[in-house]
């Protein structure tokens, strides 16, 4: 029963893995890190926790877990249009397993290097495997993408295929009829669950084009629901326009749509664009984005099939503490 260990355990594995940023005045190894924010910029911060058995399977490769632990935070920065800068790591471990630590650090460091984000501090404690990462990004004053700027008539876009991570979870839990899937489909789905790609470059391009944005961590309907709620609008989603991967297309269509609408962990962006910006958007992004609906009056989300029939959807995302 005592306080804090130093962070030397993680630092040891990280030392030669990450580059140094000029705006880190003091990094790991003091009571605090000291960071320099450029003038005319705001700092965007987000913290996320992953718990073994809740957010990831116990047998996940440590390198994949390292990747994903940082990717979920980078995805939040992407949703604000921010540029990644620094992160901290609070890690609870049942034991200091060297192989696990080496793999975890490698996955974390590779993604950190790819996005130019530097580890500046952390805490390592003994306890049930729990990973909290706080990311810090910088964004030019007044340029951040928020959830509350959407307006009736704006078109709703998503940045890529939905439902893949949810299918991978069902596959792992043997809840999916996988008879139609090839091995490469299963591998693809697993990668989408374990190695999501934060859409940083896309988020930065959306500044000035999109009126609102969010990353899809809890499922499209749940996350679009936050835009709808914060912006005080309604939404109409066309099921036929949901982007589905070729792997997901091999499943029953209703199941695939259900996964695309309600399962989480895809880490694509959902954003809204006024009609007058659509041409600029499509010139800039080409087929990277998919229009899936439009914002309406009201405060509800309605889903329609290809025949224009209203479809009721069960389950709208994950709630850790349902009422």
Binding positions for a second copy, 260-299, rule CB under 8 A: 263-265
Find out whether 131 and 49 touch, Cβ atoms under 8 Å. Answer: yes
Nearer to a second copy, 77 or 256 (CB): 77
- Contact pick of 11, 92, 191, 316 for a second copy (by CB under 8 A): 92
- Contact pick of 18, 48, 103, 161 for a second copy (by CB under 8 A): 48
* By the rule CB under 8 A, 84 interacts with a second copy: no
- Among 228, 225, 236, CA closest to 211: 228
Find out whether 94 and 128 touch, Cβ atoms under 8 Å. Answer: yes
Residues that bind a second copy (rule: CB under 8 A) add up to a total of 90
Residues 183 to 202 in contact with a second copy, rule: CB under 8 A: none
- Among 44, 38, 134, CA closest to 83: 44
- Contact pick of 22, 59, 99, 173 for a second copy (by CB under 8 A): 173
DSSP string spanning 245-293?
-HHHHTS-HHHHHHHHHH------EEEEE-GGGHHHHHHHHGGG-EEEE
Nearer to a second copy, 43 or 284 (CB): 43
CA atoms of 159 and 280, how far apart (whole Å): 16
Residues 203 to 232 in contact with a second copy, rule: CB under 8 A: 213-215, 217-219, 226, 230
The two structure tokens encoding residue 210: 């999109």
CB 307, min distance to a second copy, A: 31
Nearer to a second copy, 52 or 238 (CB): 52
CA atoms of 171 and 57, how far apart (whole Å): 12
To the nearest 10°, the Cα dihedral for 213, 219, 224, 225? -130
Cα 7–chain centre separation: 26
CB 279, min distance to a second copy, A: 27
Among the residue ranges 73-81, 152-160, 283-291, 305-313, the one whose residues contact a second copy (CB under 8 A): 73-81
CB 150, min distance to a second copy, A: 13
CA atoms of 315 and 238, how far apart (whole Å): 18
* By the rule CB under 8 A, 82 interacts with a second copy: yes
Q: What is the largest CA-CA distance in the chain?
A: 64
* By the rule CB under 8 A, 1 interacts with a second copy: yes
Phi, psi dihedral angles at 128 (to 5 degrees): -60, 140
Residues 121 to 160 in contact with a second copy, rule: CB under 8 A: 121-128, 130, 132, 134, 136-137, 139, 141, 144, 146-148
Nearer to a second copy, 278 or 313 (CB): 313
CA atoms of 157 and 293, how far apart (whole Å): 7
The two structure tokens encoding residue 128: 């049930």
Nearer to a second copy, 2 or 287 (CB): 2
CB 317, min distance to a second copy, A: 8
CB 209, min distance to a second copy, A: 17
CB 190, min distance to a second copy, A: 13
């Amino acid at each position: 029963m005592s306080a804090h260990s130093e962070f030397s355990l993680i630092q040891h594995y990280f030392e030669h893995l990450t580059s140094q940023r000029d705006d880190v005045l003091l990094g790991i190894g003091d009571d605090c890190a000291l960071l320099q924010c450029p003038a005319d910029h705001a700092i965007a911060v987000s913290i996320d926790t992953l718990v073994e058995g809740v957010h990831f399977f116990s047998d996940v490769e440590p390198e994949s877990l390292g990747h994903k632990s940082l990717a979920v935070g980078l995805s939040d920065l992407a949703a604000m249009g921010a540029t990644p800068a620094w992160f901290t790591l609070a890690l609870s471990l049942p034991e200091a397993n060297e192989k696990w630590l080496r793999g975890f650090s490698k996955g974390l460091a590779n993604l950190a290097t790819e996005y130019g984000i530097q580890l500046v501090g952390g805490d390592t404690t003994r306890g049930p495997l729990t990973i909290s990462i706080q990311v810090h990004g910088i964004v030019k004053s007044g340029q951040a993408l928020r959830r509350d700027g959407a307006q009736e008539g704006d078109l709703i876009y998503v940045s890529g295929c939905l439902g893949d991570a949810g299918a991978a979870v069902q596959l792992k839990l043997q809840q999916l009829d996988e008879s139609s899937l090839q091995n490469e489909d299963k591998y693809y789905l697993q990668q989408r669950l374990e190695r999501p790609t934060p859409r940083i470059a896309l988020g930065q391009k959306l500044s000035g084009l999109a009126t609102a944005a969010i990353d899809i961590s809890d499922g499209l309907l749940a996350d679009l629901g936050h835009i709808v709620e914060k912006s005080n609008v309604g939404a109409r989603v066309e099921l036929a326009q949901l982007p589905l991967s070729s792997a997901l297309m091999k499943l029953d269509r209703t199941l695939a749509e259900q996964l695309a609408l309600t399962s989480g962990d895809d880490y694509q962006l959902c954003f809204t664009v006024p009609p007058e910006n659509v041409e600029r958007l499509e010139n800039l992004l080409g087929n990277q984005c998919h229009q899936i609906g439009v914002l309406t009056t009201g405060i509800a989300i309605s889903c329609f099939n290809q025949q224009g029939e209203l479809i009721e959807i069960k389950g709208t995302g994950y709630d850790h503490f349902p009422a």
